[in-house]
C-alpha cells in the first residue's frame, strides 16, 4: 500500500484558490455598478440565451462570471431559496443581504469540502427605495463576501477594467452615462486590437413597481451604445481629461455639460480619423 | 418542515431539475402546499365565501371584475375582499368559493408563474399557464369534496395570437380541474353568475374599447348584486366599488384605477335611475 502524498492544508487551499482563480479569469468580464435610478449590469456575452445576468426576486438581481453550469445551478438554487422564503413569509422579507449570506455559506462549504471548488464569482444586488439603500455584494469562489460601495468587476482581466472604472465612474450618473462608463471599463480589459463583443445588459430600476429587473436589448441597447471604433477611443481620452478637471467640482451638476463636451470631442475625433 | 435559513443551500436546491415551484415545494416543504389536509366533513363549517366574478373580452384585450363581498352563512364576512389578482404581466385570476382556499391557491399560482419565468428565462405560454392552474385546482379536489370548494377563472392576453384585437382569452375551471375555454367572449362564476351572465349576454360587445368593457363588467356585477344576496353591490357610503383588471398588449395586466371604476359605477347607476324615471 502506498501512502498518499502529504500536502499541507495551506498548500491545498492555495492550489484550490489558484485553480478557481484561473478558471474565472478565463472568461469575459462582467461589470455591475450603481447609478442614479438603481443598478446596471453589463456583461460581454456572445450568447443571447445563456445569460450571465438574471432576475432573482422583485428587487434583486444576479450576475456571474466563470463556469456556466456552476453559476447556473447557484442561480436556480437562489431563486428557489428566495421564492420559498417569500412564499412562507412575505415578499418584503426577502433581502439581498440574506441571499448573499446563503450564497457565501454555500460557496464556502463547496470550497472546503469538495475536491473541486466552484469556478465562479457572483454579484447579488438589490435596489432600494432611495440610492443610499441600494446594495451590491460580491461573492467569490471561497465564500468571501464583500459589500461594494460603487461598482464591481468580475471575470476575465479585471485589473485594467477596475482601474479604468476608478477613473471614469461618477456616482449618481444617469443610465446612459453609467452605461458609457461600464463600456469604457470593459474596453480597457480587451487585449490590443480586440473589439468588444455582444453585450448583455440589464438594470434594476428603482422606479418600476413590483419586479424591478429589466433587460435592455435590441433598439434600446443600440440607442445606449455610445459609439464605436476610433471615435469611442477619442471619447475615452476626452472623458478622462474632463474627469481629472472635474474632480474638485461637484460631480452631479457638471454632468450634462460634461457629457455634451465629450460628445463634441468624439465628433471631432471622427473627423480627424477620416 | 424545512424553513429557509441562513445556512448553506441544501444539495437538493442545487441539483433539482424542475422549473416548477409547486414541485419544489412538494419535495422541500410539503406542508406549505395547499390541499394536503386531513379533513372530515366541512359542510357545516361556515368559512367565508367569495362570490361573483365576471370576465369579458374587448377589442385588443380582456377585462375581469369581481365584487368585494365575502359571506359566511347569512352574515357578511368581508366588505372589501379582493378577489381579482394579477398573476403575471399578461394574466389575471378571479376567485370564487371558499375564500381561504382560493386565496392560498392564487398566491401559490402567482409565485409559480414568476418562478418558472425566472428559472427558464421565458414566461409560460398562455395555455401552459391555464393548464398549470387546472392541475392546481384538481389537487384541491379532496378539500372540495369535503365542502370547501374554490374555483378560479383565468383571463390572459395571448402575446402569440395572430390577431392582436382578439388576443384576450377567458378560461374557466370546474372543481375537478376541467378546463374550459370561453369562446363566447364573456363568462361569470360564483353565486351571482346566472344574473351576471344574463346581463353580459345583452351588453357584451366584442369590438368595444376598454372603458366600455369596464362599464359592462360593472353593470353585470350590479345586476348580480341586485338578485343575489351574496354578491355585494357598489357601496357609495364607504366608497367600496368592484375591482377590475384589464389586460392589453401595451399595458399588460393592470388594476383599473378606483376613480375610473367609481365613474363607471356612477354612469351605470345614472342609467338605471333615468330608465326608472322614464317608466313612471
- Residue A250 has a pLDDT of 39
Share of chain A above pLDDT 70, in %: 82
Q: What's the ipTM?
A: 0.89
- Residue A273 has a pLDDT of 34
Which residue is listed with cell 366574478?
Answer: B53
Q: Is residue A208 in a domain?
A: yes
Q: Is A248 exposed, middle or buried (CB count within 10 Å of its CB: 0-12, 13-18, 19+)? A: exposed
Domain with A100 in it: what CATH number? Answer: 3.60.20.10
Q: Which three cell numbers stand for residue B192?
A: 351571482
**Could you give the 3-state DSSP secondary structure of residue B113?**
helix
Specify the number of domains making up chain A: 1
Q: How confident is the model at residue A9 (pLDDT cuts 50, 70, 90)?
A: confident
- How far, CA to CA in Å, does B12 sit from each of A21, A89, B26, B213? 26, 21, 12, 47
Chain B partners within 8 Å of A200 (Cβ)? none
Number of CB atoms found within 10 A of residue B45's CB: 13
Chain B partners within 8 Å of A81 (Cβ)? 4, 9, 13
Q: What is the pLDDT of residues B21-30, one digit of tens each?
A: 999 998 888 8
Q: Is the pLDDT of residue B83 over 90?
A: yes
Chain B partners within 8 Å of A86 (Cβ)? 111
- How far, CA to CA in Å, does A55 sit from each of A63, A82, A210? 9, 11, 12
- Residue B202 has a pLDDT of 95
Q: Does B47 touch chain A (CB under 8 A)?
A: no
Q: Is the pLDDT of residue A234 over 90?
A: no
Partners of A57 in the β-ladder: A60
Instruction: Name the active-site residue from B18, B43, B51, B236.
Output: B51
Q: Is the pLDDT of residue A244 over 70?
A: no
**Rounded mean pLDDT of A208-216?**
92
Q: What kind and span of H or E run contains B71?
A: strand B70-72
Determine the Cα–Cα distance for residues B10 and A27; give it in Å rounded to an integer.
28
Q: Is residue A232 in a domain?
A: no
Packing angle, helices A230-246 and A251-273, rounded to 10: 150
Q: Is residue B86 in a domain?
A: yes
- Residue B179 has a pLDDT of 95
**Owning domain of residue A82:** 9-162+169-176+192-226
DSSP B123: P
Q: Which of B8, B13, B114 sits opposite A80 (nearest CB)?
A: B13
Q: Do A87 and B9 touch (CB under 8 A)?
A: no
Q: What is the pLDDT of residues B137-148, one digit of tens each?
A: 999 888 888 888
Q: Which three cell numbers stand for residue A236?
A: 475615452
Chain B partners within 8 Å of A109 (Cβ)? 8
Q: Is the pLDDT of residue A181 over 70?
A: yes
- Residue A235 has a pLDDT of 43
- Residue B38 has a pLDDT of 65
Q: Which three cell numbers stand for residue A163?
A: 482601474
Of A84, A64, A67, which is closest to residue A75 (Cα–Cα)? Answer: A64
Q: Is the pLDDT of residue A242 over 50?
A: no
Q: Is residue A66 in a domain?
A: yes
Phi, psi of A220 (to 5 degrees): -65, -40
Q: Which of B7, B14, B28 sits opposite A105 (nearest CB)?
A: B7
Using the CB atoms, write b or e for B19-40: b if 16+ within 10 Å.
bebbebbeebbeebebbeeeee
Q: Which of A51, A81, A98 sits opposite B13 (nearest CB)?
A: A81
Determine the Cα–Cα distance for residues A98 and A94; give it in Å rounded to an integer.
7
Interior angle at CA A126, CA A123 and CA A129, nearest 5: 160
Q: How confident is the model at residue A271 (pLDDT cuts 50, 70, 90)?
A: very low
Specify the number of domains making up chain B: 1
Q: Is the dihedral of CA A10, A15, A16, A17 positive or negative?
A: positive
Domain with B69 in it: what CATH number? Answer: 3.60.20.10
Total number of residues shown for chain B: 280
Judge contact between A120 and A63, C-beta under 8 A. Answer: no
Of B2, B67, B124, which is closest to residue B243 (Cα–Cα)? Answer: B67
- Count of CB contacts below 8 A, A vs B? 69
End-to-end CA distance of chain A: 74
User: Shortest Cα distance from B221 to chain A (angstroms)?
Assistant: 29
Determine the Cα–Cα distance for residues B239 and B126; give it in Å rounded to an integer.
35
Q: Is residue B39 in a domain?
A: no
Determine the Cα–Cα distance for residues B32 and B35; give it in Å rounded to an integer.
9
Tell me the pairing of strands A151-154 and B70-72.
Answer: unpaired
Q: Which of A80, A98, A108 sits opposite B24 (nearest CB)?
A: A80
- Residue A105 has a pLDDT of 94
Q: Does B4 touch chain A (CB under 8 A)?
A: yes
User: Shortest Cα distance from B147 to chain A (angstroms)?
Assistant: 26
Determine the Cα–Cα distance for residues A175 and A187; give it in Å rounded to an integer.
18
- Residue A179 has a pLDDT of 95
Q: How far is CA A239 from the centre of its chain?
A: 21
User: Shortest Cα distance from B204 to chain A (angstroms)?
Assistant: 33
Q: Which of A49, A56, A106 sits opposite B9 (nearest CB)?
A: A106
Q: How confident is the model at residue A265 (pLDDT cuts 50, 70, 90)?
A: very low
User: Shortest Cα distance from A177 to chain B (angstroms)?
Assistant: 28
**Owning domain of residue B145:** 47-279
Judge contact between A84 and B28, C-beta under 8 A. Answer: yes
Determine the Cα–Cα distance for residues A87 and A9; give it in Å rounded to an integer.
42
The region of weakest confidence among A117-121, A243-247, B107-111, B211-215 is: A243-247
DSSP B62: E
Q: Does B251 touch chain A (CB under 8 A)?
A: no
Q: Do B107 and A87 touch (CB under 8 A)?
A: yes
Active site residue B52: no
- Residue B42 has a pLDDT of 65
Q: What is the pLDDT of residues A122-174, one digit of tens each?
A: 999 999 999 999 999 999 999 999 999 999 999 988 999 999 999 999 999 99
Q: Is the pLDDT of residue B74 over 70?
A: yes
- Residue B133 has a pLDDT of 96
- Residue A257 has a pLDDT of 38
Q: What kind and span of H or E run contains B181?
A: strand B179-181
Q: Is residue B8 in a domain?
A: no
Q: Do B8 and A80 touch (CB under 8 A)?
A: no
Q: How confident is the model at residue A238 (pLDDT cuts 50, 70, 90)?
A: very low
Of B171, B188, B168, which is closest to residue B179 (Cα–Cα)? Answer: B171
Q: Is residue A16 in a domain?
A: yes
Closest chain A CA to residue B4: A85
Amino acid at each position: 500500500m502506498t501512502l498518499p502524498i502529504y500536502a499541507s492544508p495551506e498548500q491545498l487551499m492555495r492550489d484550490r484558490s489558484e485553480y478557481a482563480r484561473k478558471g474565472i479569469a478565463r472568461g469575459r468580464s462582467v461589470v455591475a455598478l450603481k447609478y442614479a435610478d438603481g443598478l446596471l449590469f453589463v456583461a460581454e456575452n456572445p450568447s443571447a440565451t445563456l445569460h450571465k445576468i438574471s432576475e432573482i426576486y422583485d428587487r434583486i438581481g444576479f450576475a456571474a462570471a466563470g463556469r456556466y453550469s456552476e453559476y447556473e445551478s447557484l442561480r436556480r438554487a437562489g431563486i428557489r431559496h428566495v421564492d420559498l422564503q417569500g412564499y412562507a413569509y412575505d415578499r418584503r422579507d426577502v433581502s439581498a443581504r440574506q441571499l448573499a449570506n446563503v450564497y457565501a455559506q454555500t460557496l464556502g462549504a463547496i470550497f472546503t469540502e469538495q475536491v473541486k471548488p466552484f469556478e465562479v464569482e457572483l454579484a447579488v444586488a438589490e435596489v432600494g427605495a432611495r440610492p443610499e439603500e441600494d446594495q451590491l455584494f460580491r461573492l467569490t469562489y471561497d465564500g468571501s463576501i464583500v459589500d461594494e460601495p460603487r461598482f464591481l468587476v468580475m471575470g476575465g482581466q479585471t485589473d485594467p477594467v477596475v482601474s479604468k472604472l476608478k477613473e471614469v465612474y461618477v456616482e449618481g450618473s444617469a443610465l446612459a452615462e453609467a452605461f458609457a462608463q461600464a463600456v469604457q471599463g470593459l474596453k480597457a480589459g480587451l487585449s490590443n486590437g480586440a473589439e468588444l463583443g455582444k453585450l448583455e445588459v440589464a438594470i434594476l430600476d428603482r422606479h418600476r413597481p413590483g419586479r424591478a429587473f429589466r433587460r435592455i436589448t435590441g433598439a434600446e441597447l443600440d440607442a445606449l451604445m455610445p459609439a464605436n471604433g476610433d471615435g469611442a477611443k477619442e471619447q475615452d481620452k476626452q472623458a478622462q481629461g474632463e474627469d481629472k478637471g472635474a474632480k474638485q467640482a461637484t460631480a452631479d451638476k457638471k454632468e450634462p455639460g460634461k457629457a455634451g463636451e465629450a460628445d463634441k470631442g468624439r465628433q471631432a475625433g471622427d473627423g480627424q480619423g477620416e | 418542515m424545512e424553513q429557509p435559513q441562513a445556512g448553506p443551500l441544501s444539495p437538493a436546491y442545487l441539483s433539482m431539475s424542475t422549473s416548477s415551484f409547486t414541485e419544489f415545494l412538494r419535495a422541500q416543504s410539503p406542508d406549505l402546499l395547499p390541499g394536503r389536509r386531513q379533513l372530515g366533513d366541512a359542510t357545516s363549517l361556515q368559512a367565508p365565501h367569495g362570490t361573483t366574478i365576471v370576465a369579458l373580452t374587448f377589442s385588443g384585450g380582456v377585462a375581469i371584475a369581481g365584487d368585494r363581498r365575502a359571506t359566511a352563512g347569512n352574515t357578511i364576512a368581508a366588505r372589501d375582499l379582493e378577489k381579482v389578482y394579477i398573476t403575471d404581466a399578461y394574466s389575471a385570476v378571479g376567485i370564487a368559493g371558499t375564500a381561504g382556499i382560493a386565496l392560498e391557491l392564487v398566491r401559490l399560482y402567482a409565485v409559480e408563474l414568476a418562478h418558472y419565468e425566472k428559472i427558464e428565462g421565458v414566461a409560460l405560454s398562455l395555455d401552459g399557464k391555464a393548464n398549470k392552474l387546472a392541475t392546481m385546482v384538481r389537487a384541491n379536489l379532496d378539500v372540495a369534496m369535503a365542502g370547501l370548494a374554490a374555483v378560479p377563472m383565468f383571463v390572459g392576453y395571448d402575446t402569440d395570437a395572430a390577431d392582436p384585437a382578439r388576443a384576450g382569452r377567458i378560461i374557466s375551471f370546474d372543481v375537478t380541474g376541467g378546463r374550459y375555454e370561453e369562446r363566447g367572449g364573456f363568462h361569470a362564476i360564483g353565486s351571482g353568475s346566472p344574473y351576471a351572465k344574463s346581463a353580459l349576454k345583452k351588453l357584451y360587445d366584442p369590438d368595444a374599447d376598454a372603458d366600455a368593457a369596464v362599464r359592462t363588467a360593472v353593470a353585470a356585477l350590479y345586476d348580480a348584486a341586485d338578485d343575489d344576496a351574496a354578491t355585494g353591490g357598489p357601496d357609495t357610503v364607504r366608497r367600496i366599488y368592484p375591482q377590475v383588471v384589464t389586460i392589453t398588449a401595451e399595458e399588460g395586466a393592470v388594476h383599473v384605477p378606483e376613480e375610473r371604476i367609481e365613474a363607471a359605477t356612477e354612469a351605470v347607476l345614472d342609467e338605471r335611475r333615468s330608465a326608472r324615471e322614464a317608466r313612471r
